Structure formats: structure tokens, C-alpha cells
Amino acid sequence: MARERPVKIVQAPDFAAYSEVIDVRSPAEFAEDHVPGAVNCWVLDDAQRAEVGTIYKQVSPFEAKKRGAALVAANIGRWMATHFADKPRDYRPLVYCWRGGQRSMSLATVLARVGWAVHVMEGGYKRYRARVRETLAETAPRLHLVVLAGLTGTAKTRLLHALRARGEQILDLEGLARHKGSLLGHDPAGPQPAQKYFESLLARELAALDPARPVWVESESNKIGNLYCPEALWRRMKDAPVVEVTAPLDARVAYLLRDYPHFQADPAALKRRLDHLVARHGHATVDHWHALIDAGDWPAFVADLLTRHYDPSYRRSIARHARLVLGRVTLPALDEADIAAGAGRLAALLAEAPAEALAAS
């Protein structure tokens, strides 16, 4: 039989050092935010947590603790018979709850009795959230950002990932936000994360960056879908130098048709989204787009949407933000080979840029 070990309290754990990070808060708390990569083994679900809270306020703390203990014990028993049933002898979990108190210690104590080396995060999620805010506020201003700008459909996100494949540092805000940053930019695979979880994901990315090296980031507004870019990072992006990507209209149209197949698969949903542009462009223009969609003339629709809506919006945005332009790279085809070659040109352009142009503000 494995030797019982004491539960160890840790202040600032290295999450990667554990077999698993376990969040014992309720599913609703977990959905709003959690340590990236954590699993949710709740000891009270949402309804049970509300029930215990009601008893605490309306009856007494003592009765609430009795009811809570019964629920927690039953829930931990189910997790032990399912989630933890096949964990090996050297399993090493980190457990946390809201403040690092009763809920986390309830599960941690049982796991330690089995013989596993269990750590509990001191201060729980509340202290973790404070560290996230500190990381965003303190790390972002020190980054040597380079903004990758360009008209819609110039494959900026694909270029970012091609740059990363070459060893460059990148920050993919649209990937973290699960949104491409425009009216038609939603991710068909699922909804955006909650704002707090987006910030957790972003803080993890920032903490892994080397502040002494440049970081490529795509040009964004301060809002990506329903999520807001943290203020410190947004200020840094506004001050950062720019490299602009250009491409012919026909190449951009072809690229977007490859990149947005879900709209061709559901024209009705696309038309509903375009209806939001009536206030800006009028019924006649939106009705024209609807007609092109109904006719299946996708290249004409995308070209017209770009020239009437997206391109003027981009040019207005560029005019509002006077930034240092380090250079421009033109991609004639926007296919895989063109994007790979473009990443090479971008990296070379950055290598030749004067050091003072990349200095943090």
C-alpha cells in the first residue's frame, strides 16, 4: 500500500511540473476562467453550491457545513471511482479552489491518503487571477512588438504561423480569442472564451516570450469579436512599428474563399450577418450582396465586399494611427509557397531594421 503523504501548500507553482492541475470549483466558475490546461473535478456543482449558500444565509453556517460535507464526500467518491481510478503511483496533482481553502483541501486530503504527492495552490484561483492581471500589466509594455498589417485577405494569420515555424516569436490574438476580428470573423467550431479565460491564455503566452526579442502580432482593434484586448497590450500595439503586407485583389478573393468555406456551406447565416451592415451601406448594397450569394457568384461577392466595406475600413484605421512603417512585402499568389517565402522576407526585413525602431516605449 502506498505511503500517505502530507498535502503541501505552494505559493507560485510551475503548472507544467505537475501530472495534472485540478480545479475543484463549480462548472460555472470553471467556464468563466481557469488555469489553462486544468481539468474540472468539482466538489460542488452549480446547483449544490447555490443550495449550500442558501442554507448558510437562511438557516445557519453549521447546517450549511453539514449539507456541504455530505455533497462533497459523495462527489469526491464519484471522481475517485472515475477520473482518478487509473492514475499511476507517481501521479502528482496540483489542486486549487477559489481561495485555496476547504474545497481544495477536501479533495487533496483524499488524494494524499491514497499516497499521491499532492500540492494545493495557496490563495487558490483568486491569487492566480491577480498574477494574470500583473503579467498582463507588467509584461506587455516591455515587449518589442512588430505589427503585421494589411488589407483583409492578405493571409496575415497564416504568415504569423509561418514566421513561428522559422523560429520567430509571435502572438496570435485571433487564435486565442477564437475570432478573426470582424463581423464575419466568428469561429464555426465553437464560441469565444470568456473574457477572463482569454486573459489567462494571453498571460500564459506573454510569460513564455523572450522580452529581448521581437514579437510579431497582427494588427487588431481593441476588440476581437466580443473580447477586449487588455489595455497595456493595446497601448503597446498602437505604439509599435508596422510591416504591411499587400496582395492583388484576385489573390485575396481566392484566399478568402479557401479560408471561409463555412459561409458557402450556410448562405442563409451569411446573409443574416450581412444584414448588420445595412445601417452603414444601405439596403441596396446589402441586397446586391444577397443577390450575388443567391446566384452562387462567390468571387464577385467577396471582391465587392472587400472593395466596398473591408478595404475602406482598413484605410480609415491606418489613417487614424500614424505608425512607423518598417517596410512592405507583396505576396502575389497567397498560396502555401508564397506564404512561406513571404515569411522569409518578413524575417529578413525585421533583421535589417534599426534596433531603436523596435525599442519598447
- For 7, residues 6+ apart whose C-beta sits below 8 A from its C-beta are 105, 108, 109, 112, 118, 119, 120
Dist CA 110 CA 7 (whole Å)? 10
Q: Which helix (H) or strand (E) holds 355?
A: none
End-to-end CA distance of the chain: 59
Q: What three-state secondary structure class fits 119?
A: strand
Cell of 149: 498589417
* Catalytic annotation present for 41: no
**291, amino acid identity:** A
Q: Which of 35, 97, 162, 163 is an active site residue?
A: 97
Inter-axis angle of helices 298-305 and 249-259, nearest 10? 110
Dist CA 224 CA 321 (whole Å)? 18
Dist CA 112 CA 204 (whole Å)? 29
* Residue 179 per-residue DSSP state: B
Place of cell 486544468: 38
Q: What three-state secondary structure class fits 47?
A: helix
Q: List the one residue out of 10, 41, 6, 17 whose CA is nearest residue 92.
A: 17
Half-sphere exposure of 345 (CA within 13 A, CB side): 18
CB 65 within 8 A of CB 78: no
User: Catalytic residue positions?
Assistant: 97
